[in-house]
Amino acid sequence: MKDMTKTTPIPDLAPLRAEIDRIDEAMHRLLMERGEIIDRLVEVKRLQGGEGGSAFRPAREAAMMRRLVDRPGGLLPLDTVESIWRVIISTFTYVQAPYAVHADLSVGEAPMRDSARFHFGFTTPFVSHIGPRAVVEAVAASSGDLGLLPAVALPGGDPWWSALEGAQAPKIIARLPFVERSDHPAALPVFVVSHPIADAAVTEIEVWSVHASHWVPQAAAAFAGKGELLAAAVDGRPEAAVLLMSIPAGGRDAGLDALVQAGARIAAIHFVGGHAAPYRLGSDGAARS
């Protein structure tokens, strides 16, 4: 009787591993090539007299991250792809012009450190502070450092953003995480501040420091849906408040009108920065700007 059993050949893994080695080597060579271009970029900047201020380029980075999210997926989770890209961008930025990241640990060391390491890697020095104003002061005293400040209400309600009001004071240039999702590994909302960088800034979302001589809780409810609002009481004046208003470009007046109509009285307003509109991913993975 004829044996009908067929022996399935065992695949040889060596060629597949050789392909992986080839790809790894190609990625390394591309990173080295990127480094060579950075060297040329630094030299061109030197010949042009330099740009000054922070080497962080939020407008360019936002465009790069949007392209990254919009590309077809693959086996790698978005967390991994985003983190790798962030480390590449931040490290090569550090190579161009060394900088440190100053972080306020008022909301906890672990979430702030996670945010810093996810977005800026381990090469960029991490400097911790207790209190947002200490971060602003450190950035102001530096030649091009960045500061990470919680984009949430802090215990005690310190209106730290009033330290950003002067023309030469540091300004908000980004909000992280840029790609927002419910399961983000570094989900703490933070603002990035640096010396003013008008040539590289992106203000899809404008951020304003608003001084209210009279504040009522219902004003925050009236503002809902127009943007984001942080409020802090003024010491010794419980009826007054200093607000941090984040609102889409061109919507400032409408936002102020909503506050006034609800009973708030506005005494002063100062521009304190701007950032790209975040990419928000739903549970289906679709992007929602």
pLDDT tens-place string over residues 61-85:
888 888 888 887 788 888 888 899 9
- Alpha carbon distance 72, 86 (integer Å): 18
Residues of the chain with CATH 3.30.70: 207-273
Q: Are strands 237-248 and 126-129 parallel, antiparallel or unpaired?
A: unpaired
Q: Which amino acid is at 288?
A: R
- Alpha carbon distance 21, 84 (integer Å): 19
pTM exceeds 0.75, yes or no: yes
pLDDT per position as a tens digit, 157-177: 789 999 999 999 999 999 999
- Alpha carbon distance 175, 275 (integer Å): 6
**Nearest Cα to 268, choosing from 223, 190, 227, 208?**
208
**Element of type H or E holding 28:** helix 14-47
Round the average pLDDT of the chain to a whole number and report it. Answer: 88
pLDDT of the residue at 186:
92
Cβ contacts of 99 within 8 Å, gap of 6 or more: 54, 55, 56, 93, 124, 142, 144, 145, 146
- Alpha carbon distance 103, 112 (integer Å): 7
- pLDDT above 70 covers what percent of the chain? 92
Q: Sheet with 126-129: list strands edge to edge.
A: 126-129, 101-104, 146-150, 190-194, 171-176, 265-275, 205-214, 237-248, 228-234
pLDDT per position as a tens digit, 243-269: 999 999 999 999 999 999 999 999 999
CA angle 183, 188, 189 (to 5 degrees): 115
pLDDT per position as a tens digit, 198-214: 777 788 999 999 999 99
SS3 at position 96: helix
Contact 109, 128 (CB under 8 A): yes
**Nearest Cα to 139, choosing from 177, 93, 111, 172?**
172
Residue 242 banded pLDDT, cuts 50, 70, 90: very high
Q: What homologous superfamily is domain 49-201 in, according to CATH?
A: Periplasmic binding protein-like II (3.40.190.10)
Domain 207-273 belongs in CATH node 2.40.128: no
Tokens 């790609």 found at? 179
Q: Which two tokens stand for residue 263?
A: 């009973």
Per mean pLDDT, which range of 56-70, 112-126, 162-176, 212-226 is the poorest? 56-70
Residues of the chain with CATH 3.40.190.10: 49-201
State the chain's maximal CA–CA distance in angstroms. Answer: 101
